[in-house]
Chain A
Amino acid sequence: MSEQSLGTLEETALIIVLMKDQSYGVEIVQIYERHMEQSISLPAIHIVLKRLQKKGLVKSSFGESTPERGGKRKRYYQGTPYGYRVIAEIQERRNQMWSLVPKNSFHYGLL
């Protein structure tokens, strides 16, 4: 259906953005590290968010400036309805595919 093709990191980042009303770079990194149990560098996330924005999957706005950021403003990212649909479709398809994987196959040592 969709002409959008997303990389794995893009997918993950999009999901994290969709979790909340709005979130920003450091927060996303922290959530990523908590769930994926591996670290990631900020610039990598930034570049991914930038790409998502270009594809219209997220939108961004400036927040307030706070001292813990050295007086710099946050840029908040928010998922767009289009973004939600895209990632929902991807998840859907993946779940469909997953459901076709046998849950009790002998080969995978599950029995």
Chain B
Amino acid sequence: MDSYKNPPRWALRLLQEVCPSDIAEEVEGDLFEAYQWRLAEKGQNYAKRKYIFEVLRCLRYYRIKVRTQNSSVMLIQNYFKTGLRFLWKTKGYSSLNIFGLALGIAISWLAYIFVSDEYSFDAFYPNASQIYRTTASISFNDNTDNFAGASYIMGEELPRQVPEIIHSSRFKNGSILVKFGEEYFNQVIHYADPDFFEMFSVPMVVGNHGAFTDPSSVVISESVAKRMGIESNLSNAELITTNGSEEARFNIVGIYKDFPQNTSIRPQVLFPFSYWANNNQERLNTWFDINMNVFFQLDEQSSADQVSEKITKVLLLNEDFDQAVVGLQLQALTDIHLDPNLSTGNGVSARGDNQQIVIIITIGIFCLLISCVNYANFAVGNYQVRLKEVALRKVFGAKTGSVFKQFITEAFISTFLALVISVLFIYLILPGFASYANKQYDLNMVFNSEMLIGGLTLMLVATILAGLYPALLLARYKMVHGLKGKAKLGGKNYLSRGLISLQFAISVFLIAGMLTMNKQLNFMLNQDIGYHGENVIKLFRPIDDEQAHAAFKNDLLKISGVENVSIASGYNGTNYKDDDGNNIDVGHARVDPDYLEVLKMKILEGRNFNRNLPTDFTEAILVNETFVKQQNLENPIGQQINFEYGDFKKPTIIGVVKDFNFESLHTNVSPMLLYMGKELLTYNTYIKTSGVNPQILQQIEDVHRAHFSPYPLSYTFLEDDITKQYELETSIQKIAQVGSIAAIFLSCVGLLGFVGTQVRQKMKEVSIRKAVGADGNHIFSLFAQKYIVLLSLGIIIGMTCAFYFISSWLDNFAEHIEFGLDIVSISIAVVILVAALTIFSQLYRAIKLNPVKYLKEE
């Protein structure tokens, strides 16, 4: 026989739901048979329609008469009623409990908002899944370096030679001085190829980017257009730029909609790449000159691995790398934001870190978990009171399933209330959290459909987490025991004790983590970085003319309050071969004799530069300690090294400087060379003042204008720069602090509820003990004993995890503290103290009680 087609499942379910049980079989069978018959006669659609229609007729025919027969609806109403009554009866603990649950939900919700925002980066581009960025790796001996980016010619040749690449665009940033009216301002610009618009689906508001190859045309974003007062008429719209002496004019051919917040690519002014090429002719043909980003869009069938193999082959055909192993890889666009291993830059800005996200996810999950555990423990504790009710329900025919449903319903009531309260919490916390996390969240963004679905999911998860255990426990409970008044539930209650231990474990873990972070951060901030930034203003101004150099410095020194000035380059990296032919990587910078003085750097051996010795400009060099150590120089002073850069060759060491660290302490100090040769462009002017105040800043600005008009003044305070290097750690620390305080608070709430209910149930026992002469100490130790095991178990587990995770976190830092005894002992002490206080607060009632009150009841 043929197999039978099934009618629509939902209709069948509905039918089963509404049909009184005595006729269900007949009706279902008849409808099924009729379905087959109509299917054969008039086709599926007809049969289906008819089936659904008849099910609905059943509703009309049977439903009305048999309402009272359907018990599930009625019972659920009853569950809600008893649930609410019980909550009301124990309002003190219940409100504490729901409040804790609300806090847990709110925190994990915030974590969800933060994390989902981070993961949404770049994913909204329609082609996002096919867009990749090229990255390069170079291995030499055992040392591998990864760079994000590519060269101009890679962007030119690779798409031509590899057919899988269907679109490609280079992308690079720059800065340009824009004249608007009589004002000048620095504008960040980006260069891109014509394919850029299609790859990233850039929506044009006005005009069109056209071919986008003419170097004199630009497109701008809506917000820049608004700032420039351009609205819809582009016929005469021009962007005027200047390099200080000459002006250049560009036609604005289009205005595009601003890129959203959650992307790594956010150009404000787009120049065609041809413009960059015109100005950088010498860089167009070097294959391994990584100074820009190149994005490729692959066709749908190709995999990134295949393509990266192909492009590596093309690269190796064109350039010889000696012994180094070089490869090109493709990084998915959506991975850029959180990848900590590849540097950003060249116009792509990314977080480049996932530590903070891991920490936030951990805290979110912990808080939710703790509050659910609290609820479960509290519920189990309280339900001992309700055993009689459960037993009675069972006597009247409640099935295991229906008791289960009842307690899940009650957990649902609590989580629902908690959810409502947590929305209130979020409403209050969100603005603070946004500024804390350096994000722009507003309530519209939170209360959209996606987030609400997230909230509902969270509520369901919480309901199940919190309600499952008590519901199972009670559903399986034997009614005879309840009726006899044997209020002993689920053996020795290992699970709920285990949960208490888990909470302690989490608390210890978080406290230890928080303490370690604090200590590490303080350690880093107080570490001797080899230079001092107090009252030093760092002014950014490239100066290529030696005369201007001296004159500017002179004028700055005339300002009262300016103590010293040094004009220097930044640190560049290069390498040279020593006498034995070894490659030596060094950082080098051009300085002047005042550099060490301004930055308070110490000379350990030898002397500083002397501006009166002409040879100091051509053949003298200062090195740092690390360089001396790395080269094993015993008497560094007077030694000649093979370093050369441009015309500056084979200098002699005149002094050794104490190590200084201009990068973050994540990295070790690298070998550094300082010299006065004129090979590097100076662009940092360090001004040491006796104290920063508006007058000095005003005067500095005046001097700057006199020398470098129309360029606007741009400066930072060196101290701020130093703190900025630890920005990430500071923000992680802040979040970890708040998170662990919340988690500890939640654990306390849980403990409070757990101990409280236990004590309440033991009042009679305590009364008898007191009546026969037990004193307060005795009773306290009686109860405290119970928790000592749980507490120590939790502490051991928590500490083990903490030791493992925190040690590996500390290894991220070049210089770090040890996870030592002090942290261990403090965090254990805190947890024990908090636990003891919590337990005591609950026991206090038991100790102080008047035995008569509880004993006379019976």
Contact = CB atoms under 8 A, between A and B. Distances in A.
A80 to B, nearest CB: 19
A67 B4 contact: yes
Given A42-B34, A43-B61, A70 B26 contact: no
B54 A43 contact: yes
Contacts of B1: 67-68
B20 to A, nearest CB: 11
B4 A46 contact: no
A73 B23 CA distance: 11
Nearest to A24: B30
Interface of B is mostly: helix
A47 B19 CA distance: 12
A103 interface: no
Interface in A33-59: 41-44, 46-47, 50
Nearest to B29: A72
B28 A70 contact: yes
A26 B32 CA distance: 10
Contacts of A29: 34
Contacts of B33: 26, 68-70
Given A42-B27, A43-B27, A72 B61 contact: no
Nearest to A50: B23
Interface residues of B, number: 23
Nearest to B32: A70
Contacts of B4: 67-68, 70
B37 A44 contact: no
A46 B26 contact: yes
A69 B54 contact: no
A42 B25 contact: no
B43 to A, nearest CB: 16
B30 A47 contact: no
Interface string B54-67: 10011011100000
A26 B34 contact: yes
A43 B57 contact: yes
A41 B57 contact: yes
Interface string B13-42: 000000000010111111111101100000
Given A67-B4, A68-B4, A25 B57 contact: no
Nearest to B35: A70
A12 B33 CA distance: 22
A43 B56 CA distance: 9
Interface in A49-100: 50, 65, 67-70, 72-75
A23 to B, nearest CB: 12
B58 A43 contact: yes
A47 B61 CA distance: 7
Contact of A69 (B29, B53, B58): B29
A73 B36 CA distance: 16
A26 B34 CA distance: 6
A74 B29 CA distance: 7
Contacts of A46: 23, 26-27, 30, 61
Interface residues of A, number: 21
Given A44-B57, A46-B61, A73 B27 contact: no
Contacts of A65: 29
A74 B57 contact: no
Interface string B633-654: 0000000000000000000000
A44 B61 contact: yes
Contacts of A74: 26, 29-30
Contacts of A25: 26-27, 30
B351 to A, nearest CB: 57
Contacts of B32: 68-70, 72
A26 B23 contact: no
Nearest to A45: B30
A54 B432 CA distance: 72
A28 to B, nearest CB: 9
A70 B61 CA distance: 23
B692 to A, nearest CB: 86
A73 to B, nearest CB: 6
Contacts of B36: 68
A25 B26 CA distance: 8
A60 to B, nearest CB: 8
Contacts of B58: 43
Contact of B31 (A24, A42, A44, A47): A42
Nearest to B25: A72
A25 B27 CA distance: 8
Contact of B28 (A41, A67, A72): A72
Interface in B1-19: 1, 4, 6
Interface string B387-427: 00000000000000000000000000000000000000000
A77 to B, nearest CB: 10
Contact of B53 (A41, A67, A75): A41
Contacts of B28: 70, 72
Contacts of A70: 4, 6, 28-29, 32-33
Given A26-B37, A67-B1, A70-B4, A41 B29 contact: no
Interface centre among B4, B6, B33, B57 (most CB of A within 10 A): B33
A26 B51 CA distance: 13
Nearest to A76: B26
A89 to B, nearest CB: 29
Nearest to B36: A68
A72 B31 CA distance: 10
Contact of B30 (A26, A50, A67): A26
A26 B30 CA distance: 6
Contacts of A44: 57, 61
A41 B54 CA distance: 6
Given A26-B30, A67-B4, A75-B26, 17 more contacts: A25-B27, A41-B54, A41-B57, A42-B27, A42-B30, A42-B31, A42-B57, A43-B54, A43-B60, A44-B61, A46-B26, A46-B27, A68-B33, A70-B29, A72-B26, A72-B29, A72-B32
27 contacts: A24-B30, A25-B26, A26-B37, A41-B54, A42-B34, A42-B54, A43-B61, A44-B61, A46-B23, A46-B61, A47-B61, A50-B23, A67-B1, A68-B1, A68-B36, A69-B29, A70-B6, A70-B28, A70-B33, A72-B25, A72-B28, A72-B29, A72-B32, A73-B29, A74-B30, A75-B25, A75-B26
List 4 A-B pairs, minimum CB-CB distance, nearest first.
Answer: A72-B29, A25-B30, A69-B29, A70-B32
Interface of B: 1, 4, 6, 23, 25-34, 36-37, 53-54, 57-58, 60-62
